[in-house]
Amino acid sequence: MSVTGSILVVDDDPAICVVVGEALRRQGHKVKTASSIRERGALIDSFAPDVLITDVMLPDGDGLDGVADILERKPGLSVIVLSAQNTLNTAIRATEKGAFEYLPKPFDLNELARAVGDALGTGKVNESDGAEGALPHDGLPLVGRSPAMQEVYRTIARVLSNDLSILVLGESGTGKELVAEAIHVLGQRRTKPFVAINMAAIPRELIEAELFGYEKGAFTGASVRTAGKFEQAQGGTLFLDEIGDMPMEAQTRLLRVLQSGEVTTVGGSKPVRVNVRIIAATNKDLPRLIEENKFRQDLYYRLNVVPISLPALRERREDVILLARHFLDRAAQEGLPRKSLSDDAAQLLMAYHWPGNVRELQNLMQRLAVLSRENVIAADVLRNSLPLDMVPADYAAPADQLGQAVREWAKRQLGIGLGQPNRNLHDDLLAVIEPILFQETLASVDGNQIRAAGLLGINRNTLRKKLTDYGLDPLQLRIAD
């Protein structure tokens, strides 16, 4: 039996208050709404809600202001934050204030209902442990408002107050090191060193010396004792990039260090106690490497306590223009000519496949900031800077064709549906499109629901419900070997 409670919804958009309020009432909750911080404060005392759902941008101030005080006065209250300011900063601030959950707008009603159920079932779990303004929010390198990036932000926010090992997964150029830096800069180890080492860039015979250090005379050229990366990162964060390229023999020793918390230098005999947070990253399929006996399973479990999957840029196309403008602005701040994008150029950026991901986009914007003669970058200039075989001449055609198909379908249905006021064309259209979209997406990732949900930009629980509703079996959607 589901748990019900009293919910206060605070948003200056009446439509959101009505929709959210009605959805929660249908689940048996008592709901009241408010449109300002002032009204929220009055209802907190008179209505005494179990859960507060609040927007950030309210007419009389920042909705996050005062949340910590409310939770101090009402320790049994759970706070769910909604915001159209879909940035990592907002997620971090919400967590610092003690929010139980943070959901970006536009949000999924099913996801909101799940968050309310979790809040009523478990109570408030996040505590604010820092002074106001204690963390350096400005200038963080992570940019994106897509649902996939919102999930990344939420995960980052949840790991800042602990030292759990993190494994960042993603293709080359997606920003894995930026995630590691953000966790360090915003976390409780931010005053200590952040040390990074790329396993793929170091000769295999030198990896152990780089990681654990070496004694004088340990090998030819070792003229003095040298501290390894673990010792250099003492008290801070050690970022192990491209961990999938680490040789097996070094993996064994790394596992021993992670288990014991001690390192022994190459050529040394006395262990040194180390205290570091481990963040690893890879673009490799580690489970497959385990099957091929190229990666230790026990090390994988030790590193993969909290996984963070970074989407490829082609999987979050809604962020492409946001990122492009961000990189052009940053180039201008660094002294390069200030440039902007034409509408046609923006369309072309959205159509491109981006095999090099965010790194490729950043390099392209920097290059165009220097080489483009005009202040507004046109599509033809952009096209000349991209591989021609990867940019279709009719790059806008697929969206046009889909739009035309929907237009024709709507005309037919409206003709058929005259005199049928109870028809729901929106649901009818989704029933046509969604099963096809889910089938193709699941097939492309061999039935992996986590990856499919990321590509679709929806929550995995939402995907599961949709599959059940449409009678789709993910096991039957795997690509045949």
Output the domain CATH number for residue 433: 1.10.10.60
pLDDT at 128: 37
Verify that 303 and 366 share a domain, yes or no: no
Verify that 325 and 224 share a domain, yes or no: no
CATH number at residue 344: 1.10.8.60
Verify that 384 and 432 share a domain, yes or no: no
pLDDT at 397: 41
- Alpha-carbon distance 253 to 413, whole Å? 66
CATH number at residue 39: 3.40.50.2300
Asked if the structure places residue 396 within a domain, the reply is no
Asked if the structure places residue 447 within a domain, the reply is yes
Which H/E stretch holds residue 209? helix 207-212
Backbone angles phi, psi at 102, to 5 degrees: -125, 125
Verify that 218 and 245 share a domain, yes or no: yes
Q: Angle 312-106-81 (CA atoms, 0-180°, nearest 5)?
A: 105
pLDDT at 222: 80
pLDDT at 434: 85
pLDDT at 472: 76
Q: What is the pLDDT along the chain (481 residues), one digit of tens a residue?
A: 467 899 999 998 887 888 888 888 888 899 999 999 999 999 998 999 999 999 998 999 998 988 988 998 888 899 999 887 777 788 888 888 888 888 887 777 777 888 898 888 754 434 333 333 333 334 456 888 788 888 888 888 888 888 999 999 999 999 999 999 989 988 889 899 999 999 999 988 889 899 998 888 878 778 888 899 999 999 999 999 999 999 999 999 999 999 999 999 988 888 999 999 999 999 999 999 999 999 999 999 999 999 999 999 988 888 899 899 989 998 998 999 999 999 888 888 988 889 999 999 999 999 999 988 899 998 888 888 877 555 555 544 444 556 667 777 777 777 655 445 556 778 778 888 888 888 888 877 777 787 788 788 887 778 888 888 877 766 555 443 3
Asked if the structure places residue 88 within a domain, the reply is yes
Verify that 69 and 108 share a domain, yes or no: yes
- Alpha-carbon distance 151 to 167, whole Å? 15
pLDDT at 279: 98
Verify that 304 and 345 share a domain, yes or no: no
Verify that 250 and 323 share a domain, yes or no: no
Verify that 181 and 261 share a domain, yes or no: yes
Cβ–Cβ under 8 Å, residues 188 and 236:
no
Backbone angles phi, psi at 217, to 5 degrees: 85, 5
pLDDT at 362: 93
CB atoms within 10 A of CB 364: 20
Asked if the structure places residue 149 within a domain, the reply is no
Asked if the structure places residue 129 within a domain, the reply is no
pLDDT at 387: 73
Verify that 305 and 381 share a domain, yes or no: no
Q: For 40-95, give the DSSP string.
A: HHHHHHHT--SEEEEESEETTEETTTTHHHHHHH-TT-EEEEEES--SHHHHHHHH
Which of 54, 62, 67 lies closest to 105 in space, CA to CA? Answer: 54
Last residue of a domain, one of 309, 337, 358: 309
pLDDT at 130: 36
String of b and e for 89-102 (b: at least 16 CB within 10 Å)?
bbbbbbbbbbbbbb
CATH number at residue 280: 3.40.50.300
Number of domains in the chain: 4
Last residue of a domain, one of 122, 152, 177: 122
Asked if the structure places residue 383 within a domain, the reply is yes
pLDDT at 429: 82
Verify that 374 and 417 share a domain, yes or no: no
Last residue of a domain, one of 361, 390, 419: 390
Asked if the structure places residue 157 within a domain, the reply is no
Asked if the structure places residue 269 within a domain, the reply is yes
Verify that 67 and 189 share a domain, yes or no: no
Distance in angstroms between the alpha carbons of the first and the last residue of the chain = 43
Verify that 182 and 303 share a domain, yes or no: yes
Residue range of the domain that includes 426: 411-477
